[in-house]
Amino acid sequence: MDEHDWLVERFEMERPQLQAIAYRMLGSLAEAEDAVQESWLHLVRADRSALKNPGAWLTRAVARICLDMLRTRKVRREQSLEASVPESIPRDPDGINPEEEAELADSVGLALLVVLDRLSPAERLAFVLHDLFTIPFDEIALMLERSETATRQLASRARRRVRGSAMGKDADLAVSRAVVEAFLAASREGSFDALLALLDPDIVVRSDRVAVSRGAVRELRGAQAVARAVRHLLERTRFAQLVLVDGAVGIVMTPREWLLLLLRLTIRGDKIVAIDVVADPAHLHQLRLAILYN
């Protein structure tokens, strides 16, 4: 086997791991594939004496590429919602296979991708590489060009934001979660009576300007009307997952129009009294979001 064939073989061996890292870093399958391909170009141009461990070398390369891409994305943050992470489903039907990315987004967790996008590029890299791929802090520190102590602090700060450890301490999350889970189940099953049982008779739904521009009604009142609208929305939704929104239980979802939506639910007792539909990316980035763990 000549040197080029050996490089190709090693790269293909590492590709699944590189793809997994890049997707969690970038939240887009197309961008992840670009990052992995760029790491191959770096590999073929690299000094062969530096390739004692091609797997580690490629991991560092793809991590740095993703870091640069995230920093560039941060600079051009004036973006439409479709350009905002997570790009769970590509819009171009001739591009990446939608089903392939749908399965990948589902396996990673839409809520995790949404929350990761609230981290700085350095926090995201430290958290993803250490907490999700168990890469040692001393190696991550080299990629970030920071001390190991500073890198540990980045990961710790990211971990707190992802897990929402300081959120929701005063709220009865167990009761709220049970209500929201039942609401989601009834919506998915199309059970109108079950939905009505969870909604306050005077419930109000308010949609922001972006949601309205996509066809949502600005305001909707009454349990009957809301139940019909919610059931229709969930029928058009690929993914819907629970998430903490400013310490309260909400739902993040992606309807088939590729629009990321966040439902902020106000719950009193065991009834939902209000739902705020948030689709404006500027508003989404101001919210404190965290994964709701079991």
Asked whether residue 191 is domain-assigned, the answer is yes
148 and 236 in one domain? no
Asked whether residue 203 is domain-assigned, the answer is yes
Asked whether residue 168 is domain-assigned, the answer is no
Asked whether residue 84 is domain-assigned, the answer is yes
156 and 58 in one domain? yes
182 and 133 in one domain? no
Asked whether residue 219 is domain-assigned, the answer is yes
Asked whether residue 45 is domain-assigned, the answer is yes
CB 289 within 8 A of CB 280: no
134 and 243 in one domain? no
Q: Which residues pair with 243 in a beta bridge?
A: 250, 291
230 and 92 in one domain? no
Strand 248-255 with 261-268, pairing: antiparallel
151 and 32 in one domain? yes
CATH number at residue 282: 3.10.450.50
Strand 261-268 with 271-278, pairing: antiparallel
Structurally, the chain folds into a number of domains equal to 2
Per residue in 156-166, pLDDT tens? 999 988 876 54
Q: What is the pLDDT of residue 85?
A: 39
Q: What is the pLDDT of residue 164?
A: 66
CB 84 within 8 A of CB 117: yes
Q: What is the pLDDT of residue 88?
A: 35
Closest CA to 261 of 212, 202, 189, 194: 212
Contacts of residue 68, Cβ cutoff 8 Å, sequence gap at least 6: none
Asked whether residue 277 is domain-assigned, the answer is yes
Asked whether residue 35 is domain-assigned, the answer is yes
Domain end: 140, 163, 186, which one?
A: 163
55 and 26 in one domain? yes
Domain end: 136, 163, 190, which one?
A: 163
Q: What is the pLDDT of residue 91?
A: 36
197 and 112 in one domain? no
Strand 199-207 with 271-278, pairing: parallel
Q: Which domain holds residue 225?
A: 173-291
Q: What is the pLDDT of residue 3?
A: 76
202 and 112 in one domain? no
CATH number at residue 96: 1.20.140.160
215 and 108 in one domain? no
268 and 182 in one domain? yes
In three-state secondary structure terms, 165 is: coil
In three-state secondary structure terms, 211 is: helix
The whole-angstrom separation of Cα 23 and Cα 116 is: 11
Domain end: 163, 188, 210, which one?
A: 163
201 and 153 in one domain? no
pTM score of the predicted model: 0.68
Per-residue pLDDT of the chain (294 residues; tens, 9 = 90+): 677 788 889 899 999 999 999 999 988 888 899 999 999 999 988 887 777 888 899 999 999 999 999 988 765 544 433 334 343 333 333 444 555 555 666 666 777 887 888 789 999 999 999 999 999 999 999 999 999 999 999 999 999 888 765 444 444 678 888 999 999 889 888 888 999 999 999 999 999 998 888 888 899 999 999 999 988 887 777 678 888 888 788 998 876 554 578 999 999 888 999 999 998 888 887 888 887 765
Closest CA to 105 of 32, 31, 35, 27: 27
